[in-house]
Chains A and B, each alone.
Chain A
Amino acid sequence: MKRFRSGLAGFLAAIAVAGTSGAAVAGKSNDTLVYASDSEPENVSPYHNNLREGVIIARHVFDNLIYRDPKTGKYAPQLATNWKWVDTTTLDLTIRSGVTFHNGDPLTADDVVFTLNYVVNPDSKVITKQNVNWIKSAEKIGNDGVRIHLAGPFPAAIEYLAGPIPIYPEKYFKKVGLDGFAKAPIGSGPYKVTAVTPGKGVTMEKNTNYWKGSPLGQPSIGKLVFRVIPDAETRLAELMTGGVDWIWRVSKDQATQLKSAPNITVLSAETMRVGFLQFNAVGSSPAAVPFKDVRVRQAVAYAIDRKSMRDNLVGGGARIMNSACFIDQFGCTDDGVPRYDYNPAKAKELLKEAGYPNGFKTELYAYREREYAEAVIGYLRAVGIDAHLNYLKYAAMRDAHRAGKTPITFQTWGSFSVADASAFTGVWFKGDADDSSHDAEVQKLLKNADTSVDTEERLKTYQQALKMIAEKAYLFPLFSYPANYAFTNDLAFTGESDELPRFYAAHWK
């Protein structure tokens, strides 16, 4: 009954809200930047979602230990004033004093130790395991020192600390638990969350007490509103009518058309995101059985005209990828990696060899850029593979994929903006939930590459692994994604190649 009564109170309150007018409008006039995107993180706790929208919130609400300059790629102190390798598996950091969380609690070495130990604990059910599983544990040394024990040698550690590892407030988190944190997260970053509304989005406010001297700089815009608008057309219409100030993932066609619209700036930049087809090479569902055969996977690769897709559908600064990573990541190379240039005749031949002269029926799963997936289906059809599209929300697709139900998945991966090949291969090939090839040899090579302290050795091993992945066609890389941003002319905004919009650095003109 109590539940009902509180529910009723909430209901009445919600009716009252629905009835009132004069809601926040976007724009310079009231210092509120409304940005819209298609998907919504299931949980705004940065370790409990793997959506880009979640990464954006994480970078605005939390601080990292180390800062990586997107322009130069150089590391700089953020929460850690300095760091030092004790040996290949031990890293010492000194934590800055004088930083406070949004609720006024000081940020100390204890919070760092708590965060790192929390995220490696299996009970925490962290979704972004590949970002943290190189850590074994953390301990406090002295007053403001933190020592990280690594699970093994991991030269890319600094890159990860500068990316997807935000620091949580120990006291607050322990008080409210993960469920409470999901509704009202608290960090130390340039913006503080004022409301999380499932289905609608997140509102944030400038942290006026943001610590001086942060490499992120001081935030300028007063309020940020993240609105979830799944529909690309609705986002576009909202931008054109001033309902939102900033959108992205504008398709090539829309970007071209928008350039003629007044008051709107269109910005295109290549990103680290790579689109690719992932095959269920273990054949764990009936429709996936053909993909156990390497010739079938290669046939799919030969069947698709990536160049035409890039030129006509994707546009922007997109590049065709041949390796299972983003080409500018450390360790990523396509030297000596086999290419699959468009060759439908060869695809048909391979299918015939594999025992499918008349092709077969299968299913393709996708969650964004539906027209790319449909173009792939069109190409497959031309060589006799009758693929039906299952277009799902990301979480549903991810679950189906992790359960081994998907024969082909159209995936995209932005590597959490980590400029190291391990952030890509580690997710898709190291035997974790998203690995659908489970090749022991590849896993071994990657393990060696990830943990090798010798740079030359690392590069060489990555190349071997990437070559093997391409030869066996476990994953067929398509192209990198351009980010097409469109925003109001009132806004001064610059896009970075790591696909991380930095609203804390934006300002009104």
Chain B
Amino acid sequence: MLSFTSQRLLVAFSVALTVSIVAFVLLHLSGDLATAIAGPEATVAQVAEIRHQFGLDRPITAQYFDWLWHALHFDFGNSFYYRDTVVSLVVSRLPVTLTLGAISLALSLVVAVPLGVLAAVYSDTIIDRLALGFCVLGQAVPTFCLGLVLIIVFAVQLRWLPVSGTASWKNYILPSIALGWYAVPAVMRLSRNGMLEVLSSDYIRTARAKGLQPSVVILKHALRNAIIPVVALAAVQFGFMLGGSIVIEAVFNMQGLGYLAWEAIARNDFPVVQAVVLILAVIYVALTFLADVANAFLDPRIRLA
């Protein structure tokens, strides 16, 4: 277990390092940083001075390690647009995205797992087909379209929920549905397949043979085992949701991390973009690492494989 964990930790660490290189390259491809920092009206001499002052005239590898060192200390420099540090911008926006992601994940699990279980229990019946059909249809609807439909119906027509912003918990309901929708098909398929597998296993057959109530068998014995892979997938989906929330945040005008990155891209504010890419990637790496370890802990076959 320990060697498995340390091996996974090493992978996670090196992936994070590689991503940091990608993020660094992203910033440097965005144009001449010295010109960007100096502003549009700076003279050539001022730009040169800034280039020197910020160490942008040094070799690229030296700049990278310097940047990495600062990044490890949560210092991503200043935004080109706002008169603020990148870190304080990110810190003020992260809670919105995390809250949104968490609610979306919870919503999608609440819908998808029972649906998957139902589909497995009644496999090859009309229920199963409807559930799968729902998934296929769900995958075909772009999240932003769903978001717009939700706004039109629930915010503008029915007036049940607010249109945009992050002012209260009510603001999170519609965006969470739109974002959670995206994860439903994957989770549903996985819990259905897991359930099918478990239901056909020996010990369930034994339990059934002992004459236990079918609902007891399903809920108490089968579900517990079928849910293990879903836990891992949920962690991964959470990572995807944080990355994918950019579209939803744009539709619902929520000032989260994705929205910040989107605006920063449109304003050529690449220090912010870079930091957001890196932070989302590191969160994803951490989540998959935890999921791997948790999975291995729950299912000994994995760590031996």
Contact = CB atoms under 8 A, between A and B. Distances in A.
Q: Decide if A and B touch, CB cutoff 8 A.
A: yes
Contacts of B35: 403
Contacts of A227: 165
Contact of B99 (A19, A23, A229, A393): A19
Interface in A1-50: 1, 3-4, 7-8, 10-11, 14-15, 17-25, 42-43
Contacts of B83: 42-43, 178-179, 182-183
B266 interface: yes
A311 interface: no
Contact of B268 (A125, A230, A399): A399
A199 B263 contact: yes
B89 A11 contact: no
Interface in B80-110: 81-84, 87-89, 91-96, 98-99
Contact of A7 (B91, B162, B167): B91
Contact of A243 (B39, B40, B165): B165
Contact of B96 (A7, A18, A230, A240): A18
Contact of A4 (B74, B81, B155): B74
Contact of A19 (B87, B169, B255): B169
A402 B42 CA distance: 11
Interface size, A (range): 35 or more
Contact of B88 (A10, A19, A25): A10
Contacts of A182: 83
Nearest to A20: B168
Interface string A215-247: 000000000000101110010011011010000
A259 interface: no
Contacts, number: 114
B159 interface: yes
A241 B156 contact: yes
Given A237-B156, A241-B156, A199 B93 contact: yes
A290 B283 CA distance: 49
A390 B138 CA distance: 33
A19 B168 CA distance: 7
Contacts of A458: none
Contact of A21 (B87, B98, B168): B168
A23 to B, nearest CB: 3
A44 to B, nearest CB: 10
User: Which residue among A19, A42, A179, A197 has the maximum number of chain B CB atoms within 10 Å of its CB?
Assistant: A42
Contact of A11 (B95, B164, B250): B95
24 contacts: A3-B75, A7-B74, A7-B91, A10-B92, A11-B95, A14-B94, A15-B99, A18-B95, A18-B166, A19-B169, A20-B168, A21-B168, A179-B83, A198-B82, A199-B89, A200-B255, A231-B250, A237-B163, A237-B164, A238-B164, A241-B155, A392-B266, A396-B266, A403-B35
Interface of B: 35, 39-41, 73-75, 81-84, 87-89, 91-96, 98-99, 151, 155-156, 159, 162-170, 250, 252-253, 255, 259-260, 263, 266-268
Given A18-B99, A243-B162, 5 more contacts: A7-B91, A15-B95, A179-B83, A237-B164, A402-B41
Interface of A: 1, 3-4, 7-8, 10-11, 14-15, 17-25, 42-43, 125, 178-179, 182-183, 197-200, 227, 229-231, 234, 237-238, 240-241, 243, 392-393, 395-396, 398-399, 402-403, 433
